[in-house]
A and B are shown apart, each in its own frame.
Chain A
Amino acid sequence: MSLAFWLVQTLNALALGGLLFLLSAGFSLIFGLMRIANLTHGAYFMLGAYVGLSVLDASWGFFAAVLLGSLAIAVFGAAVQRFILARLGDRVLAQVLVTLGLSFIIADLCLMLWTGDPMQLAAPAVLSRPIEFYGYVFPGYRVFVVAVSLLVAVLLWFLIERTRLGAMVRAAVDDMEMARGMGIRAPRLFTIVFCLGCALAGMGGVLGGPILSVYPGLDAEMLPLALVVVILGGIGSLLGAFIGSFVTGFIYTFGQALLPDFAYVILFLPMIIILMFRPEGLFGEKSG
């Protein structure tokens, strides 16, 4: 296999890693703050992609698609958090059932509205031009996805580490009771973070559309990938989600290129190894 093959696969792996980061960063943030495993996250990713598709069909352009896709999911997620999840307190089984139930509802609704045929989101012509670099040609859109995910990572880092809102989130993650005692309004914080996490999932869906295309079952494929990322990196850790995403992106992409039948199984080897030696994940904190 030639060098070009490896280079292009590397770019593919980076692009998939970027998409996984958009998906799992939100999942991880939500879990870190609220201890809710949001099993609807894969469905939000898919719904975002479908919304983006419809916006593209209305020919409002790709950037409107990304914007509206994330916005729609953010609003939907905020409603779910405020009207359902907030009432459940810390009843884990109830949260699992509700988020899972919602993911089934969304998946079936998408099947109803957008039919069962796989559909491709068209990347804008400006971005899909091939990029030439030292004589090798790269698909431009993937470079764009990697750049966007890196930008989001930096913005998220800034938000969490350098702003007042981020300080409140960190305080609430560390010690919820104390944070409340200091006057932090936890319910509002929950809604904001949930909203943000959902928006990222929706955005990931639209950006992923031109690469992965959209089809029924995309949700069921993305959710376990996000779980693997989060288990690898440590639940609740943004850095963990970042590293975990790219590790997973590389393993999955090269697994699929070299051993197509077993790509799915290979994906679980690092997870199992991590669980054996560091059950809390690479950057997770020991609980209990």
Chain B
Amino acid sequence: MNQGGPLLVLALCLLAPLAAGEIFYINVASQILIAAVFAASLNILVGYGGLVSLGHASFFGLAAYAIALLTTRWGYGHFAAILIALLFATLVACVFGAVSLRATGIPFLMITLALGQTLWGVAYRWADLTGGDNGITDVRRPVVLGIDLIEPTAFYLAMVGVLLATMAFLNVFVNSGLGMSLEGARDQPRRMRMLGHGVRMVQWLAFVISGFLAAVSGICFVYYHSYIHPHSLGLATSAEALLMVIAGGVATLAGPLVGAAIVVVFKMVVSAYVTRWVMLLGIVFVLIVIFIPEGVVPGLLRVARRFRVGAK
């Protein structure tokens, strides 16, 4: 398959905000990339695994809270804090995965939702630790190799690095034996079991990997905003990521990136005019399901195909 074309498009897209030169655009682009990593992590489960999770913000938010607490309250350096945050969120993903993968389908979704909302509740109520509704403020961005990431362009370039690493990793993952058996477990769990594959094990590994990537984007998120609030652990955040995955088209590598761009830009443009983002998110959900159930990207491709056939 020729991958040159898409890669060129990707490179141009990633460079475009720098060419625009304005800090506003660079910051918007950073937000899109952070959201894209989060959506890509969820896409492992939803797209390739066929496991719809509504608790994915758990790992995103836990890693973010860990960074905030470790660097602002407990005096850890950034490097150590990032390692601990990743380790902690991944360990929680190990436990949540083991619990929720006792079921598949709707019960799986219900368990992930319930587990995720617990963490949300804890973040709200355990105010001594988390600051409750006030959240934790003043998280400073790290200085990497002498470059202070407080500078928007430097931060953006770091995010480009994180995204490219994630995409490269996902490309390897999807084509690996593990990725293939994950898709097999989604489509034909009984046959896979018959062939001697540990379906549960494969799904659990995918859950843990996906939790790890969510933690990565959570860390970027807290550094970007320098602030964390229980909202980032809650159902609305998980649902937003699901919207990105579905808007971009499930089980495609580029889908989450496109979906994240659509949702972040849409949210930004809309927030300038109306304050009712949550209601709009709901309306978008309902409209997408009714009009383009297969996702925006595949939906547009379908329209384009029809157009091309018509032109001939």
Contacts and interface: CB of A to CB of B under 8 A. Distances in A.
Interface stretch (A98-106, A149-157, A169-177): A98-106
Contacts of A96: 52, 54, 109
A92 B122 CA distance: 29
Given A101-B284, A275-B99, A94 B289 contact: yes
A228 interface: yes
B117 A223 contact: yes
A262 B121 CA distance: 9
Interface in B44-100: 46, 52, 54, 99
Interface in B204-251: 234-236, 239, 242-243, 246
A130 interface: no
A104 B243 CA distance: 13
Interface in B30-56: 46, 52, 54
Contacts of B282: 100-105, 108
Interface string A173-207: 00000000000000000000000000000000000
B126 interface: yes
Contacts of B102: 275-276, 279
A31 B290 CA distance: 21
A72 B113 CA distance: 27
Interface stretch (A46-54, A132-140, A160-168, A265-273): A265-273
Contacts of A37: 106, 109-110
B286 A102 contact: yes
A153 B287 CA distance: 37
Contacts of A224: 113-114, 117-118, 121
Nearest to A109: B279
A108 B278 contact: yes
Nearest to A108: B279
Interface string B105-119: 111011101110110
B42 to A, nearest CB: 13
A220 interface: yes
Q: For chain A, give the interface size range.
A: 35 or more
A97 B103 contact: no
Interface string B6-36: 0000000000000000000000000000000
A260 interface: yes
Contacts of A35: 106
Interface residues of B, number: 43
Nearest to B279: A108
A104 B289 CA distance: 15
A224 B293 CA distance: 27
Interface string A232-247: 0001000000000000
Given A235-B107, A268-B118, A104 B113 contact: no
Contacts of A227: 110-111, 113-114
A275 B293 contact: no
A150 to B, nearest CB: 26
Contacts of B243: 97
Q: What is the predominant secondary structure among interface residues of chain B facing chain A?
A: helix
B308 interface: no
Which of A35, A93, A94, A261 has the largest count of B CB atoms less than 10 A from its CB?
A93
B253 to A, nearest CB: 19
B173 interface: no
Contacts of A231: 107, 110-111, 114
Interface in A79-133: 84, 87-88, 91-94, 96-98, 100-105, 107-109, 112
A76 interface: no
A87 B289 CA distance: 11
A100 B114 CA distance: 14
Contacts of B289: 88, 94, 97-98, 101
A101 B115 CA distance: 20
B288 interface: yes
A109 B279 CA distance: 7
A267 B118 contact: yes
A275 B285 contact: no
A37 B242 CA distance: 16
B114 A271 contact: yes
Interface in A206-223: 220-221, 223
B125 interface: yes
A221 B110 contact: no
Nearest to A263: B125
Contacts of B105: 92
B281 interface: yes
A47 to B, nearest CB: 13
B115 to A, nearest CB: 7
A94 B293 contact: yes
B283 interface: yes
A264 interface: yes
Given A107-B278, A231-B111, A220 B117 contact: yes
Contacts of A275: 99, 102-103, 111
Contacts of B111: 227, 231, 271, 275
B306 interface: no
A161 B49 CA distance: 39
14 contacts: A39-B113, A87-B290, A93-B246, A98-B285, A101-B281, A101-B282, A104-B279, A107-B278, A224-B113, A224-B118, A235-B106, A271-B111, A275-B102, A275-B111
Interface of B: 46, 52, 54, 99, 102-103, 105-107, 109-111, 113-115, 117-118, 120-122, 125-126, 128, 234-236, 239, 242-243, 246, 276, 278-279, 281-286, 288-290, 293
